[in-house]
Chain A
């Protein structure tokens, strides 16, 4: 019942409080009834008071003692005897005093007990907290003595070390430290024991029962001794595998970049990269596979260094293999372009070289692609002796590594191609037989190759200062002649011009300059490359060829002209012959047929004779002319007295000529000339005959001679019909007889003047004619003086 508790307790408390009073009352009653002295009852009262004082609060024990005192005092007071009252008062005071003192004492002892109890509670709580903390923290904690024997280990510590707690407790701390870290641990422990240090922190590897290592951050602190305990060691450990792994990944990337950054050579860098994957990430071996030239398959290119013949056998087994896209671990990484891994290669259906791998003790494999511009160009295969599951971080790191390696390979290949091309260009530049100059866009010489310097026999300094500017000017002049832009205005077309240039050795060359402007990355002309070729020989050859061609052309044209002249000549000659033969044949036919008068026969015979004579002369003239023109006529040159020749011509012609009067106007001091006398007579008689032929009756033919410098000048003038202006230019041509008017009946071969001209020119003289129609003509010609005569003249005049 709900109301019962407090009610009962209240009742009980009342009973408890009432009990001492009842006891005192009982004692008093017994004493009073027995009329015993108070001294007898006193020990009883005292007992009650002591009991109350020990158990009850102070007020209650005082109240009880007062009640007891009153009981002690009551009998003597009622007796009224003063002698009895005094000891009673004493007894009462004792009772009250005892109660007070006892009560105080009890209070003190009670408080002390409470304090002790509270303290004990606190310790228990602290102990609980400590234990809870020990068991719930992720940090491994343990207490060990100075010898390293565990007194306490928590569960996390056991978990880190891969042991059960009790098992761990039995294993000394030192044995848990990896062999490699023990010296450091021993030293640290010694220093802690010696009090040199109070705590030691380090990253060490610890051993698990399976032999594997776990990296931990260990912290050992000295716990001071207490009254109950020896000084001990507080050992705190944290598993830093994750941090170590992250560090390893970072380290691997850093090492890889350190290899890649300064290198431009894939072949030398790749083994180092593979070593980095093994060294930092704990893979047993690594292989580089690269796509073939034909992109059909991947082949093994490099492998990391190998520690055992079995591993070597594994790598060797891969030498002849071709990995194709999509098949095998390598092929899968290739096809997918992402990291592929096999924690247990035995379970992989398509792992190549499984036997070799197992033989070498390899258990896990991973392959990551080398990617360049989204294309897989190779794969790195990683093999591990221990089974390993790749963390996400490692996968990410390897993927990133693949991209960086891909970029590196491309960069290296580009650089190599560039180096090769640069080397090629350099070789061309240095060794080309063609002169090459690099010219700035401002026209200055930047560089000239050895060929150019050799060609022009200048050093580079002179080339830059004078020779090149000269060439540039020559280029512009040549370009302007060809109506091309000048050098600096735009020479991107690679056009050539040829210029003349002098060399340092003083000779002259023909140079062909071919300029090509090289644009910079923005397309603006950055510099100009000029090829300089010595085309002197070509030019000279071509000049000679051109001359030869011209000569040939002229010869051809002469031949053609000759041919034309020849057939023209033939036509004219045959016409002349046939004309002459017409009379000869016709009249001789008449004579043959008979029936003619003697006069007729005589006359016809005269016609026949004349024409026959003419044919004969024609033949003679033609042969003469032919000999002269072909150079086959030999001149019998000697000293000739021109005046004598002229006089003889007159004396020979005059008797036969009655119609024309001859005059002579000869210079008596005319020196001897050098000539062929017979030919000179032929010239003069021809001209004289012409003068006579073309002069009307009563005309005059005048022969004159005089000195003209180193020549004798001879003139044959007539007062004849003259030569029309349109014909005067042709009188010395063959068969160019003046036909018009009265001349038409004058006989001649038409070759006379042509022959005359030839003879004069063969002597080194000249012939020309002056004429006026109706007034006559003057033929003048010159013949050089004989050498001794010319010298004499020279002396005379000098």
Chain B
């Protein structure tokens, strides 16, 4: 298994960014890497599932509206294999009812787009510091 790891040999907290929007991909990658996290990219739902199962990221930042299978379906499949995998839904579907819907579907947290960079970092930080 290809575990994502830092250059110093210690295990680096790796975030799988699953988003079909290139701009969003670049933004997250830039922000998270700068904060010292490892970043993996998936451009649609199937890629996300594949990456999650094979590259074992520490957590997943998952968009919902993606070609093929959407983020929620991808999350369901991943959680079926790895129930403990932390998944944060990052979606431009940002009505109150959407938040409830995502949490009910098994999301560990929800990040509404557009987001403040500090919010993104705070959510990731929170999960990274979990025992």
Contact = CB atoms under 8 A, between A and B. Distances in A.
Interface of A: 571, 574-579, 581-587, 589-590, 593, 607, 610-611, 739-741, 743-745
Nearest to B22: A745
Contacts of A579: 21, 24, 65, 92, 113
A587 B92 contact: no
B116 A578 contact: no
B113 A607 contact: no
A607 B43 contact: no
A586 B113 CA distance: 10
Interface in B56-80: 65-68
B98 to A, nearest CB: 9
A582 B113 contact: yes
A581 to B, nearest CB: 4
A744 B44 contact: yes
Interface string B97-131: 00000000000000011111100000000000000
B30 interface: yes
Interface in B12-48: 20-24, 26-27, 30-31, 43-44
Given A574-B92, A582-B92, A607 B26 contact: yes
Contacts of A576: 92
B30 A590 contact: yes
Nearest to B28: A586
B31 A590 contact: yes
Contacts, number: 71
B116 A589 contact: yes
A562 B91 CA distance: 25
Contact of A582 (B24, B43, B68, B93): B24
Sorting the interface of chain B by its residue count into under 10, 10 to 19, 20 to 34 or 35 or more gives: 20 to 34
B94 interface: yes
Contacts of A593: 117
Contacts of B65: 575, 579
Given A571-B95, A575-B65, A589-B117, A582 B26 contact: no
A636 B20 CA distance: 41
B114 A585 contact: yes
A581 B116 CA distance: 11
B116 A744 contact: no
A744 B67 contact: yes
Residue of A574, A579, A581, A590 with most chain B CB atoms under a 10 A cut-off: A579
B21 A590 contact: no
Nearest to B67: A739
A739 B20 contact: yes
Nearest to B92: A578
A611 B114 CA distance: 12
Nearest to B27: A586
A581 B20 contact: no
Ranked nearest first, the 10 interchain pairs of A and B with the lowest CB-CB distance are A583-B23, A578-B92, A739-B67, A585-B114, A586-B27, A582-B114, A582-B113, A581-B114, A575-B92, A579-B92
B27 A744 contact: no
Contacts of A740: 67-68
Contacts of B27: 582-583, 586-587, 590
Contacts of B91: 575
A578 B114 contact: yes
Given A583-B21, A611-B23, A739-B66, 8 more contacts: A578-B94, A578-B114, A586-B31, A586-B114, A586-B117, A739-B67, A740-B68, A741-B67
Nearest to A576: B92
A730 to B, nearest CB: 14
A574 B26 CA distance: 22
22 contacts: A571-B95, A574-B95, A575-B65, A575-B91, A579-B24, A579-B65, A579-B113, A581-B113, A582-B23, A582-B92, A586-B117, A587-B27, A589-B116, A590-B27, A590-B31, A739-B20, A739-B66, A739-B67, A741-B67, A743-B67, A744-B20, A744-B67
Nearest to B116: A589
Contacts of B92: 574-579, 582
Contacts of B30: 590
Nearest to A607: B23
Contacts of A739: 20, 66-67
Contacts of B114: 578, 581-582, 584-586
Contacts of B66: 739
A585 B111 CA distance: 14
A635 to B, nearest CB: 35
Contacts of B94: 574, 578
A581 B94 CA distance: 13
A579 B63 CA distance: 10
Contacts of B117: 586, 589-590, 593
Contact of A575 (B68, B93, B116): B93
A578 B64 CA distance: 13
A773 to B, nearest CB: 14
A744 B43 contact: yes
A589 to B, nearest CB: 5
A591 to B, nearest CB: 11
A589 B34 CA distance: 14
A576 B92 CA distance: 8
Contacts of B31: 586, 590
Contacts of A607: 23, 26
Contacts of A586: 24, 27, 31, 114-115, 117
A587 B30 CA distance: 10
Contacts of A584: 114
A582 B21 contact: yes
Nearest to A596: B30
Contacts of B95: 571, 574
A571 B93 contact: yes
A582 B44 contact: no
Contacts of A574: 92, 94-95
A582 B67 contact: no
A416 B43 CA distance: 101
Contacts of A587: 23, 27
A582 B115 contact: yes
A691 B112 CA distance: 34
Contacts of A741: 67
Contacts of A578: 92, 94, 112-114
Q: Point out which of A584, A739, A741 has the most chain B C-beta atoms below 10 A from its C-beta.
A: A739
A585 B31 CA distance: 13
B36 to A, nearest CB: 15
Nearest to B25: A583
A87 to B, nearest CB: 208
Contacts of B112: 578
A586 B22 CA distance: 13
A465 to B, nearest CB: 74
B41 to A, nearest CB: 13
Contacts of A610: 23
A614 to B, nearest CB: 10
Contacts of B43: 744
Residue among B20, B21, B24, B112 having the largest count of chain A Cβ atoms under 10 Å: B21
B85 to A, nearest CB: 24
A744 B63 CA distance: 14
B71 to A, nearest CB: 13
Contacts of A611: 23
A615 to B, nearest CB: 12
Nearest to B112: A578
A253 B24 CA distance: 125
A790 B69 CA distance: 51
A508 B105 CA distance: 65
Nearest to B64: A575
- Which of A578, A607, A610 is most buried by chain B, counting CB atoms within 10 A of its CB? A578
A582 B26 CA distance: 11
Nearest to A579: B92
A601 to B, nearest CB: 12
B120 to A, nearest CB: 8
Contacts of B93: 571, 575
A571 B95 CA distance: 9
B117 to A, nearest CB: 5
B66 to A, nearest CB: 8
Contacts of B44: 744
